[in-house]
Amino acid sequence: MNHTTMELHIKKAISTLVPDLSKQIWNTPVEKATGTEWYLDGLPKARNKTKTTLRIFSSLAACLALCLVSFLWVDM
């Protein structure tokens, strides 16, 4: 028996064991996750768009202020 045949037997065997729970699972009420649940450990966290935008704008504003101060300093 070669490895391809063995893998085919394993695949067929597993498919006969798996129960069809799709309807049962769909009919079970679930709460929407907030993103901090234990089962989401290790997953990339979704970034908060508002926070990211605010951070970018505040960095830009700081840069602009620094440039202005430098310009005025040289000019004086």
Partner 1 sequence: MAYDEPPQTEPVEIDETLFARIGNGEPDAFCELYYQTQNIIYSYTLSLLRNQCDAEDTLQETYLKIRSAAHLYRPFGKPMAWIFTIARNVCLMKFRQQKHLSAMNIENVPEPLDFSQIEDREDRVVLETAFTVLTEEEVRIIVLHAVSGLKHREISSLLELPLSTVLSKYNRGIKKLRKQLEGEFS
Alpha carbon 46 to chain centroid distance?
Answer: 5
Q: Taking CB under 8 A as the rule, does residue 40 contact partner 1?
A: yes
Q: Taking CB under 8 A as the rule, does residue 38 contact partner 1?
A: yes
Q: Judge whether 46 and 36 are in contact, CB under 8 Å.
A: no
Binding mask 47-76 for partner 1 (x = CB under 8 A): ------------------------------
Span near partner 1 by CB under 8 A; candidates 29-37, 48-56, 58-66, 67-75:
29-37
Alpha carbon 28 to chain centroid distance?
Answer: 25
